[in-house]
Structure 1
Amino acid sequence: MRILNAPKVSLVQAEDNDFEELVALRIEAMRESLERVGRFDPARARERFRAGFSAIHTRHVMVNQQRAGFVVVKPGPDQLLLDHLYIRPDCQGQGIGAAVLEKIFAEADAQAMPLRVGALRDSDSNRFYQRHGFQFLSEEEWDIYYIRSPR
């Protein structure tokens, strides 16, 4: 699905029965990055996503009434966690992820909450999050964590 011009992005609440579609999209979107670090395992990716799946915190990313990805934002006591942001590979590089971040930033700012995100080491998402104002927070063996303060 190639989007021309600026995308009109909306977020639509996910439901429990969306799990299969969401996990398939996650595996598709993460495949290249996970292969790059030698950690692509669809069964493991599925298990990890199932363990943390919460439909109430998950929204479909819709572009021109078509599903282009999904985002998961979970509340915490002192920050919001941007737990997942996946855009289908054929929809990447079109400003969709940036448009989603604008919406999530507005929500975080309205609550005066910092927004935390983790990105797989060596993934292009590290540059994406830094480009959009996230600051380095910490790193672990496989992931790098960033934070964005509320505006």
Structure 2
Amino acid sequence: MDIEWLVELRAEVLRADLARLGAFDEHRVRERMRAAFRPQNTQVIVVDGADAGSISLREEQDARWIEHFCLAPSAQNRGIGSAVLEQVLPTKDPRSFKLNVLQGSPARRLYERFGFAACEQDEVDGV
């Protein structure tokens, strides 16, 4: 798995929202991905035979976290995010799923359609 491709994809996908929030930093957005990356938790999303995104699932004792769920702009608004969540969310595991999403991000609509609700938030993220 090419971490640098994922780092660049994350920077590209988050750029507009982070800039809108006054929080985009070219170096920080990439370093956060490198620091948090766990290849064993990450799956590459392939669309039409090409790598188009990623999703990571991190398990904790009381919750499962969806992290680094990024789709290339060319793969957005095509139902791909919904298809990925439809595969990830059904489980017999009683722990809830959690995630962070940037304030005002269009991705919030996707998560809300799948029953996610804000639990807490700060000036950048909502959970």
Q: TM-score range by the shorter chain?
A: over 0.9
Output the TM-score relative to the length of structure 1.
0.79
Runs of 4+ in 1 over 4 A off after TM superposition: none
1:4-59 deviation per Cα after TM superposition (whole angstroms, max 9, x unaligned): xxxxxxxxxxx3xx110100110111111111112221211011111111011011
Give distance in 2, aligned partners of 1:111 and 1:79. Answer: 10
Secondary structure, aligned partner of 1:110: coil
* Corresponding pairs, count: 127
TM alignment of 1:104-123, pairs within 5 A = 104-106=88-90, 109-123=91-105
Instruction: Say yes or no: does 1:60 pair with 2:44.
Output: yes
1:144 paired with 2:126, answer yes
Instruction: Supply the distance in 1 between the matched residues of 2:121 and 2:23 (Cα, whole angstroms).
Output: 17
Moved more, 35-44 or 72-81: 35-44
Aligned-residue offset at 1:141: 2.5
- Quick one: distance in 1 between partners of 2:49 and 2:93? 28
- Tell me the amino acid that sits aligned with residue 121 of structure 2: E
Instruction: Name structure 1 gaps, 5 residues minimum.
Output: 1-14, 146-151
Percent identity (aligned): 35
For residue 18 of structure 2, the aligned residue among 23, 29, 34 is 34
In 2: Cα distance, 1:65 partner to 1:113 partner: 33
Q: 2:77 aligned with 1:88, yes or no?
A: no
The CA RMSD over aligned residues, in Å, is: 1.2
Structure 2 unmatched ranges of 5 or more: none
**How far apart are 1:64 and its partner, in Å?**
2.4
Instruction: Compare the two structures and name the one with the higher strand fraction.
Output: 1
TM-score, normalisation: structure 2: 0.93
Task: Indicate the residue corresponding to 2:7 in structure 1.
Answer: 23
